[in-house]
Structure 1
């Protein structure tokens, strides 16, 4: 019995020890689970985004897309800076000189973007485009405007041609049955509009580039692709006959005094207000014009069904094809210090759904496949069709060439509009810059 009691004591003791060891192990295990590292929150990231859409509906759309992205990515803050076109260019020059580009910012592709790329101020997103089929969602021609030496630095959102937007009601009032198809007819219509007490043409020549559209289109109609290619390749020159003759045509137009009062100091916004409020009959402008007319009008509705569109008239005897188009588009490029999230956000605003939303408010002529269904405005459909039909598409000179040359083009053409430069002197100034800057 004594041995049995001792045995029972030993067994009880053993059980107690085993129980305590087990509890200690369980407690330690629980404690280890309690202090195990949790999934850490994504690191906070700020994206700086500069755009030039100052119209209310356009600003609201960009803001809503940024808000959607931030809601899905709580660690990301998108700081938007909205600047009018010329203010944007001025401020961008300053930050580029200080080597601090925004993460995502407005671009028209071409020469200026190429200069930034050569200076190492942009992020190469070629690999991003090649990953997951992003590249294949774009129209190749539109995407090509945002590449340099085989590398991509941004993406387009919009591409279209410049043409004449006109007030059909004012044309009818002046007795004009159909839009002009030749330069001679255009000048005739200008005279008819003036005789009816109507300002024929709005132009914001204080911004310079609106007037450059005229000279560039005339050079395209007169000399065709061959003239520009020869001058740009330095096998020819910007003093060749088509460019001088383009200046003569502008001189011929200016002599008719077709523009609104104060046009030399007017901005493109003034130009838009003149059209949107029914004060001028015509405006040579890009595909974004209807939206600016609406926003600049007193009732925010613009011209509605009164607005029409026609392509730049042919010039009798010119070498250019009637379908040749001057134009370009808008897009965004990526600054060199942009975080990966900036490229991801750029992909987000380049989606089909985003492009459809842009088209619905006439912000963009879509460049992403499948988004053309969002283009409901019949006039913008005509612009899109004209762009597609162009056998030669001439990019705006201030985008196609180095920025310094583009600036001289705009300045020289302003001199033509002001009557301070002859066609020969304007062409010579442009040639002098091209000879220095185009390598």
Structure 2
């Protein structure tokens, strides 16, 4: 009995020593992602902990909408994460203005910044201060099910303009094929249509003028035309039944199950649609293709302009120094190269781009390299409030309950008061 008590005491002391040695916990919060990326994140955490026995790294994942809703509250509390996922843009600028982010410029240095693409570092720099690190660049494309395209007699290589795309939608419906899968309940997937059409109609100069408050701003003619272009699609009833009750995650899985011809989504849906499909494998790569968003005849935007994101990580105010050390360790070329090789995302670390094996990602990387203007997701770039208005307007247009003129005016009114 004495031996048992002594053993228990030794075990308790050992456990106490182990607990005491893990003096710093780094909490990382991420919007839900693929199993491939999660595995890479966990491996990076284990590798860092092995080098730093006094540090414990914990990842937490939340569904996309839950993440967006919970993060603002967390950042105002003592429970805020040390590192959190960000789409950059106006939302990040608002967070910096509110004092929620840490200036890590002096901790990372110029040489570290040079390991990323200039656009990537710019996306995570606010008022000249580096507040995080870019992870990936994204391009929104039409993921395409080639088996359904064949069934409908559609050659996607011939889709060059918006009118060509509308004709393909009609042809798919005539063949009994659901043209487009969309997660309308979350609204932001619908903003990809309205937003990309605005990029095609207004172009870079049009967006600069609108953001500067010149003329009618976001109520100017090109933005009204974008709504009219979207309405032409909506009038064809292209989406699956009940699209406004379908979340992004559900739409992603259903596209992976082969239920629709197109899914307008960024590169992250390549693995996401596979993971969320019933088989866990999704559409075979040889039965899938990507279609760049078509040009709009008469639009002021360059057909090579891209719409998507430069996503990454932000260090929150008051985070321990070790959080910056882990970010530099984990978000560097080594693990980004692994992610690129496994098709998790298109990396922003310059030394990692050569590791891209996925042919779809290579094509997107080429598109991004050729693009002279890359517009970040508008629900992020315009800030939380105006971004929410843009999403609402997109959903209202998709349901036919608002006119293109009303949608443009609502966005402009929100921008005027932001």
TM-score strictly above 0.5: yes
Q: Which runs of 5+ in 1 are unaligned?
A: 1-40
Alignment coverage as a number of residue pairs: 396
State the secondary structure of the residue aligned to 1:164.
strand
Tell me if 1:135 matches 2:135: no
What aligned pairs does 1:196-345 form with structure 2 within 5 A after superposition?
196-236=175-215, 237-304=217-284, 305-345=286-326
Measure the CA separation in 2 of the matches of 1:158 and 1:54. Answer: 13
Higher Rg: 1
Q: Give 4+ residue runs of structure 1 displaced > 4 Å after superposition.
A: none
Measure the CA separation in 1 of the matches of 2:38 and 2:114. Answer: 28
Contact residue 53 and residue 59 of structure 1 kept, 8 A: no
Deviations 1:55-93 (A, max 9, x none): 322222211211111122111111221111111111112
Measure the CA separation in 1 of the matches of 2:390 and 2:290. Answer: 26
Contact residue 345 and residue 361 of structure 2 kept, 8 A: no
Contact residue 128 and residue 134 of structure 1 kept, 8 A: no
What aligned pairs does 1:55-134 form with structure 2 within 5 A after superposition?
55-98=34-77, 100-130=79-109, 133-134=111-112
Q: Which runs of 5+ in 2 are unaligned?
A: 1-19
Tell me if 1:371 matches 2:349: no
Measure the CA separation in 2 of the matches of 1:283 and 1:329. Answer: 20
Measure the CA separation in 2 of the matches of 1:313 and 1:108. Answer: 24
State the secondary structure of the residue aligned to 2:114.
helix
Measure the CA separation in 2 of the matches of 1:217 and 1:93. Answer: 27
Tell me if 1:431 matches 2:409: no
Q: TM-score, normalized by length of structure 2?
A: 0.92
Deviations 1:167-206 (A, max 9, x none): 1111111111234110111011001111111100011111
Q: TM-score, normalized by length of structure 1?
A: 0.88
Measure the CA separation in 2 of the matches of 1:222 and 1:118. Answer: 32
Counterpart in the other structure of 1:405: 386
| Pairwise CA RMSD | 1.4
Q: CA deviation at 1:400?
A: 1.5
Deviations 1:83-118 (A, max 9, x none): 111111111121123365310000011111111111
State the secondary structure of the residue aligned to 1:380.
helix
Measure the CA separation in 1 of the matches of 2:347 and 2:358. Answer: 12
Measure the CA separation in 2 of the matches of 1:432 and 1:382. Answer: 38
